[in-house]
């Protein structure tokens, strides 16, 4: 699975973004073995953020590529932007 472009730190990529707001996006990649995926944000001007399967709210820990989702944005353990509290739409 190709990694999303996450070289920027949290402060620079999130400048001007309301992190506590609900963000819409589309799943563009998901590796079920690793539990990692990425979401293209609908209002993000091309921003793609990572997520872990534990962030999927319905408890399934799996999601199909192409599914529209809603969630919030938060920094991960190393300061990169990630999607949290993901709900399938």
More confident residue, 11 or 44: 44
Write b or e for each residue in 2-29: b if 16 or more Cβ atoms lie within 10 A of its Cβ, otherwise e. Answer: eebebeeebeebbeeeeeeeebebbbeb
pLDDT at residue 45, rounded to an integer: 77
3 state DSSP class of 44: coil
* pLDDT tens-place string over residues 13-49: 555 566 668 899 999 999 999 999 999 999 877 889 9
Whole-model pTM: value is: 0.79
pLDDT at residue 57, rounded to an integer: 95
């Amino acid at each position: 699975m190709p990694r999303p472009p996450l070289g920027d730190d949290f402060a620079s990529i999130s400048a001007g973004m309301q992190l506590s707001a609900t963000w819409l996006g589309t799943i563009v990649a998901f590796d079920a073995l690793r539990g990692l995926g990425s979401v293209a944000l609908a209002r993000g001007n091309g921003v793609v953020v990572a997520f872990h399967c534990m962030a999927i709210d319905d408890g399934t820990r799996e999601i199909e590529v192409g599914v529209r989702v809603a969630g919030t944005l938060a920094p991960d353990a190393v300061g990169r932007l990630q999607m949290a509290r993901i709900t399938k739409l």
